[in-house]
Amino acid sequence: MSIDLSGKTALITGASRGIGEAAARIMAGYGANVVLAARSTRDTARIAADIGDRALAVTCDVAQYGDVENAVDEAIRSFGSLDILVNNAGVIDPIARIEDSDPEAWDQVVDINFKGVYHGLRAAIPVMKRQGGGVIINISSGAASSALEGWSHYCATKAAVLSLTRCAHTECMADHIRVVGLSPGTVATDMQRAIKTSGVNPVSQLDWSQHISPDWVGEAIAWLATDAGRAYDGGDMSLRTDEARRAVGLIG
């Protein structure tokens, strides 16, 4: 299908690499203005420069609500609206069994993976409500419904994000704000390198060739931002299924 995001503005968290970078480049290719948010602008500034005038890099630690609110404000100041929010920022390190985990590091994963999504929802929903609508895409995971050794922090936070997606959908659908999750499966990013290095649980044993490209996820994000993705509102679209891949146009 033909995707047209002309005139739309998308704010993407965790946009310095991997899925976030791919989403920014692909959505810009479909005509969107893109705001690349990350804790440092070292990489996002370079990516934004590559994209051109319709891209902006902002410093944003999603664990800090004020940073997220400022990123939303910057999107509106620069481009006049916020039409799409991609809550992508997430971490999995340090991988450890519960008995060996560092409580402070465990807490930090909660702050980024779970509270970061809440912060995005909280900052974006009032803006989108005033505008008359919008789309919020939360990057989920099969870990949301799985129990994996060493991943208690990741599984728990992704399960919480799925619940947030459902709650936000229930609260926002009457205001024409779509909230949808995307579960990409395993993706060839730095996160998979960390998982591989850990040697913990079966995911670490996967061959690199079994992971999909971040570009596939970027394409799925762009597709979900259109009305074509409405069937998945309030839940997670799994990119591991042929049905979803075919709908996005990744396979014939």
| pLDDT (tens place) for every residue of the chain, 252 residues total | 689 999 999 999 999 999 999 999 999 999 999 999 999 999 999 999 999 999 999 999 999 999 999 999 999 999 999 999 999 999 999 999 999 999 999 999 999 999 999 999 999 999 999 999 999 999 999 989 999 999 999 999 999 999 999 999 999 999 999 999 999 988 888 888 889 999 888 889 888 888 999 999 999 999 999 999 999 999 999 999 999 999 999 998
Structural domain total, the chain: 1
CB 154 within 8 A of CB 141: yes
The CATH number of whichever domain residue 91 belongs to comes to 3.40.50.720
Residue 151 included in any domain? yes
Q: What is the 3-state secondary structure (H, E, C) of 127-156?
A: HHHHHCCEEEEEECCHHHHCCCCCCHHHHH
Domain ranges, residue 125: 9-247
Residues 6+ positions from 206 with CB-CB distance below 8 Å: 186, 192, 196
pTM: 0.95
Residue 1 included in any domain? no
Residue 172 included in any domain? yes
Q: Which residues of 68-106 are buried (b: 16+ CB within 10 A; e: fewer)?
A: bbbbbebbeeebebbbbbbbbbbbbbbbbeeeebeeeeb
Residues 83 and 225: their CA atoms lie apart, in Å, by 9
Residue 3 included in any domain? no
Residue 4 included in any domain? no
- Annotated active-site positions, please? 154
Query: What residue type is assigned to position 196 of the chain?
Result: K
Residue 96 included in any domain? yes
Residue 205 CB neighbours (<10 A):
11
Residue 2 included in any domain? no
Residue 111 included in any domain? yes
